């Protein structure tokens, strides 16, 4: 059995290569911290490496920020070739909390790196639902807050260990059309069938789906939350509601009756994304990445920076890593 099979990674590392010379990687915090053995075995020891870390879960509370700080202190001792670890925060509160924990951190929102070509406005698609909620059926997503929405589309799966919870939740949403999964490159179609998108969690990460809604021109019904999703939601297309099913339903009904123009929502979203893309270009320049590669990124970044979008063995070759086995 190869080392890669033994650790359950197949033949790739859970990261994205942004530059080979100089060596610049990006990874989610838990994807990196959970596989330190693999990184230690695979990454070159004699080349300084810059690592950009995205956050899959909120780090704006003091406890979460302190825990991440301790985890990365240990990781840097294990991997001395990490010359720089820079955390990309999703809200100013995360910047403040992580700075206090001793981390180098900059505001650079993950949702800015969605490829907007995947999320077009489809004016010929018929509106069939007052609201859509694309979310794994798990307690923190709080599906029960959508109970009073009269016409609801749900897209989301659940784990076997949460089956009882999920089935009970769905029984409380008899009006919903439920789909367990949908191909991510085609997700714009069901989004465009709805009149608004729902964001109902109180705590998570930056929630890519929130930006997918608005890029498709949908307004959003949004509860108070920590994790940073609000930063790229246009104010004029966002209904901020209390944690109450009647409030969620009323906001969805209001958008069904009258909503901002889809093109205006999309344009405003892209404008909110722009400074975060500019920040990433500045970070790459600052890491020593050459003008030619930076110019390519200025034209278009990889979708989600290439993170959690599927992995394959060619990434090892791009990283300059040996073949597994």
Q: pLDDT, tens digit, for every residue of 85-109? A: 999 999 999 999 999 999 999 999 9
d(CA 135, CA 140) in angstroms, rounded, equals 10
- 166 shares a domain with 284: no
Q: What is the DSSP string of 99-157?
A: HHTT-EEEE--GGGGS-GGGS---TTSPP-BSEEEE--SSGGG-GGGGTT-SSEEEE--
pLDDT at 5 over 50: no
Position 45 confidence tier, pLDDT thresholds 50, 70, 90: confident
- 137 shares a domain with 242: yes
Task: Show the beta-strand stretches assigned E in 29-81.
Answer: 49-54
- 203 shares a domain with 94: no
Q: Domain of 68?
A: 3-114+271-318
**pTM, full prediction:** 0.91
Q: Is residue 323 part of a domain?
A: no
Q: Is residue 152 part of a domain?
A: yes
Position 318 confidence tier, pLDDT thresholds 50, 70, 90: low
Which residue among 260, 285, 307 closes a domain? Answer: 260
- 147 shares a domain with 94: no
- The CA–CA distances, whole Å, from 190 to 55, 127, 153 equal 27, 9, 8
Work out how many domains the chain is built from and give that number. Answer: 2
Which residue among 260, 290, 310 closes a domain? Answer: 260
Q: What would the mean pLDDT of 124-148 be, rounded to a whole number?
A: 98
Q: Is residue 325 part of a domain?
A: no
Contact 265, 237 (CB under 8 A): yes
- 96 shares a domain with 34: yes
Return the pLDDT at 315: 52
Short-list 236, 280, 230, 242, CA closest to 255: 236
Short-list 178, 170, 167, CA closest to 147: 170
Short-list 20, 147, 24, CA closest to 82: 24
- 103 shares a domain with 40: yes
Q: 164-209 pLDDT, tens per residue?
A: 999 999 999 999 999 999 999 999 999 999 999 999 999 999 999 9
- 79 shares a domain with 182: no
pLDDT at 317 over 70: no
Which DSSP state fits 94?
A: H
Q: Name the phi and psi angles at 277, rounded to 5.
A: -65, -40
């Amino acid at each position: 059995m190869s080392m890669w099979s033994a650790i359950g990674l197949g033949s790739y590392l859970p990261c994205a290569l942004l530059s080979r010379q100089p060596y610049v990687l990006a990874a989610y915090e838990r994807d990196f911290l959970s596989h330190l053995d693999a990184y230690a075995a695979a990454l070159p020891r004699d080349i300084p490496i810059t690592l950009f870390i995205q956050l899959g879960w909120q780090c704006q509370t003091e406890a979460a920020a302190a825990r991440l700080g301790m985890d990365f202190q240990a990781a840097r001792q294990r991997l001395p070739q990490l010359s720089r670890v820079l955390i990309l925060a999703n809200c100013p509160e995360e910047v403040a909390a992580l700075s206090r924990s001793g981390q180098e951190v900059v505001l650079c929102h993950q949702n800015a790196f969605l490829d907007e070509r995947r999320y077009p406005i489809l004016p010929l698609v018929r509106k069939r639902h007052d609201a859509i909620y694309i979310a794994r059926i798990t307690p923190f997503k709080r599906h029960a807050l959508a109970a009073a929405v009269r016409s609801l589309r749900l897209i989301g799966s659940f784990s076997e260990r949460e089956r009882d919870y999920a089935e009970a939740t769905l029984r409380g949403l008899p009006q919903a059309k439920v789909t367990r999964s949908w191909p991510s490159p085609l997700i714009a179609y069901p989004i465009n069938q709805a009149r608004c998108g729902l964001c109902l969690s109180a705590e998570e990460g930056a929630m890519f789906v929130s930006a997918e809604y608005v890029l498709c021109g949908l307004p959003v019904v949004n509860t108070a939350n920590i994790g940073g999703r609000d930063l790229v939601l246009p104010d004029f297309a966002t209904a901020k509601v209390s944690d109450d099913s009647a409030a969620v339903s009323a906001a969805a009904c209001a958008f069904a009756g009258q909503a901002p123009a889809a093109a205006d929502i999309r344009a405003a979203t892209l404008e909110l994304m722009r400074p975060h893309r500019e920040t990433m270009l500045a970070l790459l320049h600052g890491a020593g990445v050459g003008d030619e590669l930076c110019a390519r990124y200025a034209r278009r970044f990889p979708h989600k920076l290439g993170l959690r979008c599927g992995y394959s063995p060619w990434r090892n070759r791009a990283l300059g890593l040996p073949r597994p086995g």
